[in-house]
Chains A and B, each alone.
Chain A
Amino acid sequence: AQSVAQPEDQVNVAEGNPLTVKCTYSVSGNPYLFWYVQYPNRGLQFLLKYITGDNLVKGSYGFEAEFNKSQTSFHLKKPSALVSDSALYFCAVRDSIRDDKIIFGKGTRLHILP
């Protein structure tokens, strides 16, 4: 069965520093990978996705993610954090072979410190 893990419940980063939010996955076939962000009292918003092609995917708000097949990881990154990046981030995976549903991780709360 497909699964996704976000090993950190919370990540603290000083404003202006680079940030990384970690995600690892497990699927039977090729993975479709997603990152979503949730701001307080809002629904999830799509940030970026990996389906195929370049391992480095660029998304909204200056975020990017790197697909690493050997490590089964899809970490979210940003070169310089903003206070406004503080939110809850979800990694999600869908198996290219099985099902139409997406499995979400438990989320990582990102705090950007001024």
Chain B
Amino acid sequence: DAGVIQSPRHEVTEMGQEVTLRCKPISGHDYLFWYRQTMMRGLELLIYFNNNVPIDDSGMPEDRFSAKMPNASFSTLKIQPSEPRDSAVYFCASSFEYHGRLNIQYFGAGTRLSVL
């Protein structure tokens, strides 16, 4: 398996523009997580899905952020409109249930977002 695949790897955009980040989890995994990493705040969980259903979106910072998982092999994180403070590295991770509990998470390489 190629692992968790994120695209694009780098995104530079101007304030006010819409940004869409994409993630393909590992086949067979039933959990998908979106994280944001910054120097100031470290690694923050934004939202996670189980079997394509959002379970906890309490980490989503504002209504400008939205995430979808239309099927088991694809998820998007959208920021509309983007702001400079959204600049960060965004990671997607996937996992599967093991003995009834969540197993380790496998991370993608991340998308580095710069909002000018």
Please report A residues at the B interface, Cβ cutoff 8 Å. Answer: 32, 34, 36, 41-46, 49, 90, 94, 96, 99-107
- Closest chain-B Cβ to A67's Cβ sits at a distance in Å of 16
B25 within 8 A of A: no
Find A102's partner among B91, B105, B108, B109 (CB 8 Å cutoff).
B105
Minimal Cβ-Cβ distance residue in B for A94: B102
Please report B residues at the A interface, Cβ cutoff 8 Å. Answer: 4, 31, 33, 42-43, 45, 48, 50, 55-56, 91, 93, 101-102, 104-110
- Closest chain-B Cβ to A9's Cβ sits at a distance in Å of 10
18 A-B pairs (CB sep. < 8 Å): A32-B101, A41-B109, A42-B109, A43-B4, A43-B91, A43-B107, A43-B108, A44-B107, A46-B106, A94-B102, A99-B56, A100-B50, A100-B101, A101-B33, A101-B45, A102-B45, A104-B45, A107-B43
- CA of A106 to CA of B4 in the docked complex: distance in angstroms? 23
Minimal Cβ-Cβ distance residue in A for B9: A41
